[in-house]
Structure 1
Amino acid sequence: MYVERLQLFIKNQQYFEMKQLENELSHLRNKIMEYQETVGLERIVWRKQGVVGYFSRVHFYEEDRVALFDFLYCLGLLPYVVNISWAKLSTEEQQKLEVVATKREGYVRYWPKKTQSLILKELNNDMAIPLEEGIVDLVSRWRALKRKYDQLEKQWALLRGGALKEWGERERKIQLPSGSLSVVRLQPQIHAVTLLKHLDISTLIRSGTINYDRILEFAAKGYFNKTDIDKFRKIKEISIRYILIEIQNEDKKHEYNKRKMDYFSRISRHL
């Protein structure tokens, strides 16, 4: 049922409508960002439209990986704060771990023909023409299109999820006049603790990356101070990112971050 509905979503041009909306939203976002750069305001709230735009600093760190891993290993915490990348394991290592690894579902992907991609590219070029609209009109238009896009994207995600369950473990590809549908299989997951039961610590170090949410959790539990970790990291680059978001969604983000910090705070108080 879902597979047929997914095909109908594409046949009825809803998929291409969604991608066109995505392109136009990107264009509108850039125009709004340009306005905000011009007026020199780091944050603007368009309360009537229910939208906020702001510039956010993103820090990129350079990590003394060897020293950091050694520090965590000496504390006996390394396996509990590391995420393993399956792709960094050798074929032989993957074969050894395959039985104990956790399978991941994957996802259904639509591969449009190149002719369809060209249509979207041409549309994007057309949108490069400056819009003769005021900033409030641009923001209002962005929000209206964002809601249309979200509805289509939600429907698309639902259909893809249902189609994946119908497909199950079968490798299948469906050819359509405009492209093809197939299942993309994701690489398995393996926990570092499980990996160490079968392979040595050098494999963990080679294939692992630090999970800093787990680092904060162990710092809150009193195993070490966050400043101990900061010694092994230094800021390499600061990038400025522009965020355009509905106020209600920003509130949800703040609430999520508050719950996370409250969790760390409760852990600290119970030491």
Structure 2
Amino acid sequence: MTIYHIEHFIDKGKYKEMKHLEFVTSKIKENIRLFQIETEEKRIEWKEQGVVSKFVSSKEYDWDKDFLKELFFDLGILIEACSICNERLSDYQLTTLVNKSMRYDGNYVRFTPNKLLKFKYFEWFAELDIPAQLLIWKEYHKKLEVLLLEWDKLRKIAAISRYC
């Protein structure tokens, strides 16, 4: 498999459909979240739709980064545990970081749609009641999962393929 399979995915309209499904499911999810905030319920069971919505706490912790770096260095896994976001570094930091002692790990492939594949969507579902939106979300979410799996598989295979 090569990059041509990704082109085929796009040409068949699957990429456009995937992006549309992502948009609709995320907007409906946001509508349901706002509805649930208004009801002040932490958990709502939508039996007819077969969906449960609940607020889940997301815990974030502050880390002692210097301690972790020292610990990872002592364990010999500092290189494997660190990733660097080049966009956040200044020019000076980049030139200091990039030197002859760094090793090149291979190619990285990034797939980004051009302007022809960026879409504007109409929120036709916004006027529907929450139970109707849930039915749409459930249907679209299933389709989206299938397309995302196919898209991720194609991207991974194209990234490791030598015959692009």
Q: Please, what TM-score do these two structures have when normalized by structure 1?
A: 0.47
* Separation of aligned partners in 2, 1:114 and 1:153: 21
Question: What residue in structure 1 maps to residue 115 of structure 2?
Answer: 114
- List aligned pairs for 1:62-211, cutoff 5 A: 62-63=62-63, 65=65, 69=67, 79-80=74-75, 83-86=81-84, 90-92=97-99, 95-98=100-103, 103=105, 106-109=108-111, 111-117=112-118, 120=119, 122-123=120-121, 126-127=122-123, 130-133=126-129, 135-167=130-162
Report 1 or 2 for greater relative contact order, CA contacts < 8 Å, sequence distance ≥ 6: 2
Q: Please, which runs of 5 or more residues in structure 1 have no aligned partner?
A: 173-271
Q: Compared with structure 1, are the counterparts of its residues 77 and 21 closer, same or farther at alpha carbon in structure 2 (3 Å cutoff)?
A: closer
SS of the residue 1:52 aligns to: strand
SS of the residue 2:128 aligns to: coil
* Separation of aligned partners in 2, 1:52 and 1:77: 41
* Separation of aligned partners in 2, 1:85 and 1:157: 21
Larger Rg: 1
Question: What residue in structure 2 maps to residue 46 of structure 1?
Answer: 46
Alignment size in residue pairs: 152
Q: Following TM superposition, by how much is the alpha carbon of 1:18 offset from its aligned partner in structure 2, in angstroms?
A: 0.5
- C-alpha RMSD of matched pairs (Å): 3.2
- Percent identical among aligned pairs is 22
